[in-house]
Amino acid sequence: MKLEHVEYLPNQRKRLHLRCPACGQLVVRAGFGSVKSKTCGCVRYTKHGLAYKTTLYQVWKGMKSRCYNHHNEAWSSYGGRGILVCTEWLAYPSFHAWAIGAGWKNGLVLDRKDNDGDYEPTNCRFVTILQSNRNRKFCITAEQASAVHALLKLKIPQRKIAEFLGVKLWTVRNIARGLCWKE
């Protein structure tokens, strides 16, 4: 795939009309020596041949950054805890192939089934943001939320409820205020 020569421009020394093979647009270049690009700029590729401006590529970059970049603000929750990316996924084409096979589409996020496990095919899936939030370390189940509601009706102190159910005190307080897990 290369820019195709169409014609020289009249009255302009060493100016070329070239046609982009990707989109068909006519572009003007200074001369044959300056024609190094393969397209007019409408398509951007990385060394692996897959477009780098896609959402899936950004998901892959974010996953690697959280695990290996000490300057990433989430690093302490991922790489700092020893969570790694499997060697197979360090190259984008293999992650891309897995993601397409696993049902990735826009609007879904990458989620680890086991929050203490690495990013690997057996531990990852694509889910909605709501499902991902419910898989967080401090998230409670629907059964625990109903138990909190029942115990609040019995006028049991919130601190005792948190200790009894093994949940954070602020979670019980948020349920009591109606900020989450409304009945």
- pLDDT tens-digit profile, the chain (183 residues): 455 545 555 555 666 667 776 667 777 766 655 556 666 666 655 566 666 678 898 999 999 999 999 999 989 989 999 999 999 999 888 999 999 999 999 889 999 988 889 999 999 999 888 777 766 666 677 888 889 999 999 999 999 999 998 888 888 998 898 888 777
Give residue 118's region: left, alpha or beta (phi > 0; psi -120 to 50). Answer: beta
- Alpha carbon distance 113, 120 (integer Å): 10
Q: Which pLDDT score, from 0 to 100, does residue 121 have?
A: 96
CA distance 165 to 172: 10
pTM of structure? 0.55
What pLDDT does residue 130 have?
77
Query: 145 is written with which tokens?
Result: 């939320």
What is the per-residue pLDDT for 78?
92
pLDDT of residue 87: 93
pLDDT of residue 101: 94
Q: How far is Cα 90 from Cα 104, in angstroms, rounded to an integer?
A: 18
| pLDDT for the residue 86 | 94
SS3 per residue for the chain = CCCEEEEECCCCCCCEEEECCCCCCEEEECCHHHCCCCCCCCCCECCCCCECCCHHHHHHHHHHHHHHCCCCCCHHHCHHHCCCECHHHHCHHHHHHHHHHCCCCCCCEEEECCCCCCECCCCEEEECHHHHHHCCCCCCCHHHHHHHHHHHHCCCCHHHHHHHHCCCHHHHHHHHHCCCCCC
Residue-level pLDDT at 1 = 46
Work out the widest C-alpha separation in the chain, in whole angstroms.
Answer: 91
Question: In residues, how long is the chain?
Answer: 183
Kindly give the interhelix angle for 142-153 and 158-165, rounded to the nearest 10 degrees. 150
